[in-house]
Amino acid sequence: MEKKELPAGLDKAVTGFERYLTGERARSEHTVRAYLSDLSSLLAYAAGEGITDPAGLELGTLRRWLGSQSEAGASRSTLARRAATARTFTSWALREELIETDPSLRLQAPKRDGSLPGVLQQQQLARLLADLNEAAKDGDPMALRNRAMVELLYATGVRVGELAGLDVDDLDPDRRTLRVLGKGNKERTVPYGLPAALAVDDWLRRGRGKLAAADSGPALFLGARGRRVDQRQVRSVVKGLFEALGDTSATGPHSLRHTAATHLLDGGADLRAVQEILGHSSLATTQIYTHVSVDRLRRSYQQAHPRA
């Protein structure tokens, strides 16, 4: 990643922090890029105040930096993320003895927006899958692939990066389970249902071989040129499907993850089981979906109860 030109002391700290994220923390390339973008913004602001190394960072600098971001129109969720980046960096810098005290301990940022994630209703999901089934009838390999990807995204709640990284031998068709390599290189096993199993099997039997090329390797899902499908392609497919529905707040593959979690809880699944399926390290992260379910329950009550 190209960094803004910084004083040598700050630039050296960025390099060390990047090694920490990719090595010790095993963060994904996308996550590292986001951290470094936020950090470069902070340190460029600090350099503008005459700070040349991390030891010069003070709480006031961090607050003024966030204030400048707010004045520039950054959302509450963006400000919260950037404050979290600052805390992660200064905590690391303290451990590395680049600073004597952590200036971010009293740093406060706006809470993230409380909006609930967009999810598909059962009827919307049924329409989407019906369209995918219709498109796959003639055996077009891309249509077979798209149906299998969407069925698997919904069946397992995997992240789009996890889906793109799947290999054929990550599937256990007999047990209908999937081996997933998640954040921090943590491996988990996720079950999937019969519709997803049939869609994936159809893709492997009738579709994948038509797209496979010499450099396909073991990738489960392939692009038009035979290489492993990338996240951008998956997002484009799902975005187009949601736009075709026309009546949903869902926007991309992550909405299928939200939908899977919400429907599991609506169906009575245990919260900790959903945590394990989604690969959340903290139960608190999973609990947002209980709010989604309660919101759906409240709407149903208001629509159906005579005295609502």
Please enumerate in sequence order all residues whose Cβ is within 8 A of that of 126, keeping only pairs 6 or more positions apart, or say none.
none
Tokens matching residue 102: 């952590």
Shared fold status for 8-95 and 123-304: no
CA atoms of 258 and 87, how far apart (whole Å): 28
- Identify the bridge partners of residue 171 per DSSP, sorted by sequence position: 178
Domain 123-304 fold is hpI Integrase; Chain A (1.10.443)
Neighbour-count burial for 115-128, b at 16+ CB within 10 Å, e otherwise: ebbbbbeeebbebb
Question: Is the distance from CB of 110 to CB of 79 less than 8 angstroms?
Answer: yes
Please choose, from the candidates 39, 136, 124, the residue with its C-alpha nearest in 3D space to the C-alpha of residue 81.
39
**Predicted local confidence at residue 110, as pLDDT:** 65
User: Is pLDDT at 190 greater than 60 in this prediction?
Assistant: yes
**Among 32-36, 150-154, 299-303, the least confident range:** 299-303
Sign of CA dihedral 266, 267, 273, 279: negative
**Predicted local confidence at residue 50, as pLDDT:** 94
pLDDT band at 35 (very low <50, low <70, confident <90, very high): very high
**Predicted local confidence at residue 117, as pLDDT:** 60
pLDDT band at 281 (very low <50, low <70, confident <90, very high): confident
Helix axes 8-19, 76-95, angle to 10 degrees: 90
Please enumerate in sequence order all residues whose Cβ is within 8 A of that of 44, keeping only pairs 6 or more positions apart, or say none.
4, 6
Predicted TM-score of the model (pTM):
0.63
pLDDT band at 160 (very low <50, low <70, confident <90, very high): very high
Number of neighbours of residue 22 by Cβ within 10 angstroms = 14
- Identify the bridge partners of residue 177 per DSSP, sorted by sequence position: 172, 191
Residue 73, class by beta-carbon neighbours within 10 Å (0-12 exposed, 13-18 middle, 19+ buried)?
Answer: exposed
pLDDT band at 80 (very low <50, low <70, confident <90, very high): confident
**Predicted local confidence at residue 113, as pLDDT:** 54
Rounded to the nearest integer, the mean pLDDT of the chain is 88
Left, alpha or beta for 2 (phi > 0: left; psi -120 to 50: alpha)? Answer: beta
pLDDT tens track for 263-279? 888 888 888 888 888 88
**Predicted local confidence at residue 3, as pLDDT:** 46
Under DSSP, is residue 187 helix (H, G, I), strand (E, B) or coil? strand
Query: The domain 8-95: what is its CATH number?
Result: 1.10.150
pLDDT band at 131 (very low <50, low <70, confident <90, very high): very high
**Among 104-108, 135-139, 174-178, 204-208, the least confident range:** 104-108
Question: Is the distance from CB of 119 to CB of 258 less than 8 angstroms?
Answer: yes
Q: What percent of the chain has pLDDT over 90?
A: 58
pLDDT band at 154 (very low <50, low <70, confident <90, very high): very high
User: Is pLDDT at 69 greater than 70 in this prediction?
Assistant: yes
Three-state secondary structure string covering 41-52 = HHHHHHHHCCCC
Enumerate the active-site residues: 159, 183, 254, 257, 280, 289
User: Is pLDDT at 2 greater than 60 in this prediction?
Assistant: no
Tokens matching residue 272: 């900790």
**Predicted local confidence at residue 152, as pLDDT:** 96
- Identify the bridge partners of residue 228 per DSSP, sorted by sequence position: 222
CA atoms of 239 and 253, how far apart (whole Å): 8
Question: Is the distance from CB of 170 to CB of 220 less than 8 angstroms?
Answer: yes
Residue ranges per domain, the chain? 8-95, 123-304
